[in-house]
Chains A and B, each alone.
Chain A
Amino acid sequence: DVKVTQSSRYLVKRTGEKVFLECVQDMDHENMFWYRQDPGLGLRLIYFSYDVKMKEKGDIPEGYSVSREKKERFSLILESASTNQTSMYLCASSPDRPRGTDTQYFGPGTRLTVL
């Protein structure tokens, strides 16, 4: 079974702090994604990566950056957390068939609260 793990289930940070959210997948998938989930808005793509050291902006990249130094790990970074970044963050991965058309496998999510 594909497993996608996220470093924390719950996280509480203060405004202005630098926040790292880590995601690891164990199926050698090329593609990895970061989404945020907010009530009524569904999932919105923040950043994605199709290869090591490669990243592309999604729909809402402002205030975020990412790092992919190893194939299995994709980190989301909030350089200076703000209260409007309080949300559920979901990581996903997928194999490299025609990009993105195959199933995406999701982690359990990290619920981040910024005070």
Chain B
Amino acid sequence: GDSVTQMEGPVTLSEEAFLTINCTYTATGYPSLFWYVQYPGEGLQLLLKATKADDKGSNKGFEATYRKETTSFHLEKGSVQVSDSAVYFCASFEAAGNKLTFGGGTRVLVKP
């Protein structure tokens, strides 16, 4: 079945550092890809998404590009803030499976 693998955390950074969280997926077709973020004590919120190859999703300074050739959707931010401390989930949706498949989540801690 479909699966999503993302780097394990926690990832600890200083403010203004560059953040990358790796995400790769396996799928039989061409899934839509998502990054969700969970701030402390809250539910998940959609951060960005891409629905086809070479699409770039972006929001709040975060970006991720759908790379079909490497089956990846890595999340990046050029300069993180303390307020970016959260757990980040990569997810894929393939119509044949008809459900979202989540990665294990990556906790990011940004220190001032």
A residues with a Cβ closer than 8 A to B are: 4, 40-45, 48, 58, 90, 92, 98-101, 103-109
Contacts and interface: CB of A to CB of B under 8 A. Distances in A.
B95 A98 contact: yes
Given A100-B98, A108-B43, A40 B49 contact: no
A41 B98 contact: no
Given A42-B104, A108-B42, A109-B43, A100 B89 contact: no
13 contacts: A4-B43, A42-B89, A42-B104, A44-B102, A45-B99, A45-B100, A98-B95, A100-B93, A103-B46, A104-B46, A106-B44, A106-B45, A107-B43
Contacts of B49: 103
Contact of B93 (A101, A105, A106): A101
B98 A42 contact: no
A45 B78 CA distance: 33
B75 to A, nearest CB: 15
Q: Chain A contact residues: over half helix, strand or loop, or mixed?
A: loop
Contacts of A101: 32, 51, 93, 95
Nearest to B89: A42
B33 to A, nearest CB: 11
B105 to A, nearest CB: 5
Given A100-B99, A101-B95, A104-B100, A43 B89 contact: yes
Contacts of A98: 95
B44 A48 contact: no
A11 to B, nearest CB: 15
Contacts of B104: 40-42
B43 A106 contact: yes
A81 to B, nearest CB: 22
B69 to A, nearest CB: 23
Contacts of A100: 93, 98-100
Interface in B51-82: 51
Contacts of B41: 108
A107 B42 CA distance: 8
Contacts of B44: 43, 90, 92, 104, 106
